[in-house]
Amino acid sequence: MEIAEELNIEDFGSSNGWLERFKTDIAFLLKQFADKQQLLKERNVAIIVDNCTAHNQPENLKAIEIIFLPPNVTALLQSLDQGIIRDFKRKDKKMLAKDLIKALDRNEKLEVSVLDAIDYEHKSWSSISSQSVSNCFQHAGFIANEE
């Protein structure tokens, strides 16, 4: 509950059914996103996921197809495992190290709140270029070489 308070989320609640709620929410968000971007009118979208049992095929998403990777090939084919995660972690650790050095220079102890950690994650993800993502998809074999 402390995290919810720090993020100013008043209607936060927890229960044992969080996974089912997550599945329902993610399906709703996918549809909402597709509607907003008018993807349903212009093109189909494929979302590639590993074979984790938490991933399901939401209903009523005509223009969105969930493609499940076969077991034991995630590290070989999933584009996130082709360098995006490594790049993300490197950028995240670099920001944390910079803040730690600044704190040490001021003879202070670095205290990182949950909100600070979320900010690090947001900045790390935002700094990953679309070219880097494209390269990872190409390396995984989802995009043909442009030669």
Give the per-residue pLDDT at 21.
67
Give the Cα separation of 47 and 51 in Å (integer).
Answer: 12
Q: Could you state, in chain order, the average pLDDT of each consecutive group of 10 residues for the chain (147 residues)?
A: 65 60 68 62 72 70 75 68 80 93 94 91 90 80 64
Task: Return the domain boundaries, the chain.
Answer: 1-68, 74-146
At 108, give phi and psi (nearest 5°). Answer: -115, 160
Give the per-residue pLDDT at 145.
64
Report the half-sphere exposure of 139 (CA within 13 A, side-chain side). 15
Terminal alpha carbon distance of the chain: 53
CA-wise closest residue to 120 among 103, 98, 136, 101: 98
Give the Cα separation of 86 and 121 in Å (integer).
Answer: 13
